[in-house]
Amino acid sequence: TTTPHEKIFWKIREQLAMREGRWKFILSGRESFEKDESLPPVFLADLEADPGETTNLAEAKPELVAQLKETLLAWDKDVQSRR
C-alpha cells in the first residue's frame, strides 16, 4: 500500500508513535489507551507481515528500534519547541 507521506507521527497523552513504511513503532508503555501495566513500553510491528499487530518485534530488531526511537524523539522535540 502506498501513502503520500514517508513518515507519519502522532502523540496521544504519554504515547508517542510513528509509521514508516511497513513499520509501526510505539513508545511509552501502551498499545491501547487502557492502563494495562503488562503492555510493553516499546512496541514494533511489521504491518505488511502482521497487519493485526499481534507480534512485538522490538527485541528482535534492536537496531531498527534505536533508529525509529531517535527519529520519533527528534520529531517530538521539534513539536515541543514550537509551542
Q: The pTM is what?
A: 0.82
Q: Over its length of 83 residues, how does the chain's per-residue pLDDT go in tens digits?
A: 566 788 999 998 878 999 999 999 999 755 454 556 666 789 999 999 999 999 999 999 999 999 999 999 999 999 989 88
H/E element, 63: helix 62-81
Instruction: In whole angstroms, give the CA distance from residue 42 to residue 31.
Output: 9
H/E element, 25: strand 23-27
